[in-house]
Amino acid sequence: MKNRYVVLIGSMALAAAVAVPALGQSSGPTATSAASAKKIANQAKKTANKAQSTANAAQSTANAAQSTANAITGSSAYNGDCDPNSATFLDCVGVTLTLGQPGRVLVNASGGQVSISAAAPTAADGDCRLEVDDSTAGIPHSTTNQPGEATTDNTTPTAENGFANTAVTSVLPAGAHTFELSCNEGVGDQVIEDSMISAVRISG
């Protein structure tokens, strides 16, 4: 009976040795599968990181483009002499501004009206206004003023009837727009000297 116990114990020890690998040794196919899964996970992580880097670069580019579009831009111009000779408006000075995106524009203009007298002092006048792309539609209110005299000429080329016009436009679409100071002639004969205009994009 004692021999049977010895044989039984020996068989159990042998089975345990076969079933349980020695410490530090590979468990065969199970360990290989785990290593493969880990490798796949690492590769997926690298791919995700690369995709995120690409997305971050694209966002940076978009942010830079938006910053450029939002930038305050402006321009100005000058014209020394303008001679409207009828009730038709004539552009005395203009400036073109390109908007990167829709926005409003602050427009300021000024000039000096001079009456031309053939003999006795004779009054002259006319209307001057701001325009956007040869139209007043882009400006939400009237900007027309009437520089000149009521009865007697009091001007010379060095002593003008100064005037100014200012407005903030409606929201204009993206693209190039021309902003003008336009004048006509009413009573008598007049010229517009030293016309100046500036246009600055101020908001969306």
pLDDT in tens, 28-83: 667 788 888 888 888 888 888 888 878 887 777 656 555 555 667 999 999 999 99
Q: What is the pLDDT of residues 107-148, one digit of tens each?
A: 999 999 999 876 666 889 999 999 999 999 999 999 999 999
Q: What average pLDDT does the chain have?
A: 83
CA gap 65, 102 in Å, rounded: 14
Q: In this structure, how many other beta carbons lie within 10 angstroms of the beta carbon of residue 105?
A: 24
Fold of 73-203: Jelly Rolls (2.60.120)
Domain boundaries, the chain: 27-69, 73-203
Q: With CA atoms as reference, report the closest residue to 96 among 78, 72, 75.
A: 75
